[in-house]
Amino acid sequence: MSSSHPESLKAEIRELKAKHNVLFLAHYYEDGAIQDLADHVGDSLALAQWGQRADNPIVLLAGVVFMGESVKLLSPEKTVLVPDLAAGCSLVDHSPYADYLKWRNEHPNGITVTYVNSSAKVKAITDVCVTSSNAEKIIGAIPRDREILFGPDRNLGRYLSKKLDRPMILWPGSCEVHVQFSMRKLHELKLQYPEALVISHPECDETILQLSDVIGSTSRLLDEVRNNRATKSFIVATEHGIFHEMQKARPDAVLIQAPVEGSCACNECPYMKLNTLEKIRNTLKTLSPTITVDPAVARLARVGLQRMMDITDGKAVTWPNLFEAPSPAL
């Protein structure tokens, strides 16, 4: 029986990864021990890019399932592994396909912009996907005379709508982690640490963003800590896992977690934390569980994802004139 001692697990993971020629990707919100073992650590956009561009036949993604689906959609020939198929996302749960399709049908002339934090079926009725890293660039590529539907995160959509001066019809979803931060407690913390910079993810509630000095994707917040050497203290309003990379980038920085209401550890994503070293080792031993996407769904979902990747890479794209529901139904 394999040892469960952390160092033995790490050695076994490295050996199995090399044996099977696996590209190991981890999201910033994973446990620090998992991040340190990965070939690449990044946000959802970076993970999709690495997964698509790598030559490895097998990709292991320590994150949540929709991230693994994105890699599979962009690279259908690859085997995509995830440590736990139960690693879901509240935004996926808040945007069921039948309801999203009804909403989409109500606005057939609009361009539907869907956050990658969504299911493959929802992506299949989407004109273009976005991440918090590239959303501004993607929306900037949409003709200004086109109506925009944005989902499933209303906070991100509201932030983008105001910043870009683009009216949007917003889907009423939210991230269960980012909506837990307390405006009242954050205001008190700012008074306690007046020299600290408040850096926040745009999935946070508008009341938190109004108190923030820097608003951006996970990678943007990491860059702020890494590059802003004039600032020593940061109040961070996003998932706590990013502290690992931030502290590695700036050992001298004081990182303060933005407070939540109550005493729960709500600043940690419960889905991300389902992944463990043991599960990763077992996944590499059995080469399972794997991500599978229905071919009919994948064919349609790939369109919006690839349009996102093309715009991100500076390529010109065309936009559909009218939405037509999939036939036959998915």
What's the pLDDT band for 1 if we cut at 50, 70, 90? very low
What pLDDT digit, counting tens, does each position of 76-101 carry?
Answer: 999 999 999 999 999 999 999 999 99
Residue 61 in this model has a pLDDT that exceeds 80: yes
* Ranges 94-103, 254-263, 264-273, 284-293: which has the least confidence: 264-273
The phi and psi torsions of 198 (rounded to 5 degrees) equal -90, 120
> 10 Å Cβ neighbour count for 153?
29
* pTM check: above 0.85: yes
For the record, the structure tokens of 191 come out as: 């008074």
CATH 3.90.480.20 fits 178-267, yes or no: no
Q: Mean pLDDT over residues 238-243, rounded?
A: 95
Which one is predicted more confidently, 316 or 263? 316
Matching CATH topology for 6-88+273-286 and 91-176+293-312?
yes
Which DSSP helix (H) or strand (E) runs through 59?
A: strand 58-62
Residue 240 has pLDDT above 80, yes or no: yes
6-88+273-286 in CATH: which number? 3.40.50.10800
| Bridge partner list, 200 | 215, 237
**What are the sequence ranges of the domains in the chain?**
6-88+273-286, 91-176+293-312, 178-267
* Type of residue found at 297: V
CATH class, domain 91-176+293-312, is alpha beta
- Tokens 């917040």 correspond to 221
| pLDDT tens profile 155-202 | 999 999 999 999 999 999 999 999 999 999 999 999 999 999 999 999
Angle between helix 218-227 and 242-249 (nearest 10): 20
